[in-house]
Amino acid sequence: MKHTMPVAEVQGIALDRESQLPIVLLKTSHPRRIIPIPVGPSEASAIIVEVEGVHPPRPLTHDLITELFQRHGMILLHCEIRDRIDDIYTAFIHYRRRFRNFSMEVRPSDAIALALRMKAPIRINPLLLAEAEHSLDVFRHLHGDDILLLEPDYTDHAV
């Protein structure tokens, strides 16, 4: 099955000026956009831990789910950031067990954390890209510089 949804990568974590809550910054390449996904502090930690390659002494919840997937022969095909309703994003995970495909609605933060652990693509509904920021530079200009970048390429230029 060919996907028409752009793939995103975790660019970094920002702190919302008003709520002081974390925002996961997803970056798409074609077109170049930044999708800001608000998450809670513990959800942001679960994402940062995986991106940074930190392995806590005991597994986190997402690590346990990953282990369950592996032990029971399930494969995470991809996660999907599907919609935004009243500034709340919706997400789905798509997975396979043997010859059957399944989908489940989950929180976007859980979808991202699982996709990172299971090396599955994070796909973005193209309709969400129309409202997205054009670049990290534009996001910084509008929302401030309090951003933890999580990948080696720290440069991003406006489209």
Determine what percent of the chain is predicted with pLDDT higher than 70.
82
**pLDDT at site 154:** 39
Q: How confident is the model at residue 132 (pLDDT cuts 50, 70, 90)?
A: confident
**pLDDT at site 101:** 98
The C-alpha atoms of residue 26 and residue 35 are separated, in whole angstroms, by 5
CB 113 within 8 A of CB 47: yes
Q: How confident is the model at residue 4 (pLDDT cuts 50, 70, 90)?
A: confident
The C-alpha atoms of residue 143 and residue 12 are separated, in whole angstroms, by 14
Predicted model pTM: 0.85
pLDDT at 140 over 90: no
**pLDDT at site 153:** 44
Q: What is the CA radius of gyration of the chain?
A: 16
Domains assigned to the chain:
7-149 (3.10.690.10)
pLDDT, tens digit, for every residue of 19-71?
888 999 999 987 888 899 999 999 999 999 999 888 888 888 999 999 999 99
**N-to-C CA span, the chain:** 30
**pLDDT at site 29:** 84
* 80-88 mean pLDDT: 92
Q: Which has the closest alpha carbon to 23: 3, 7, 44, 4?
A: 44
pLDDT at 155 over 80: no
CB 121 within 8 A of CB 10: no
pLDDT at 143 over 80: no
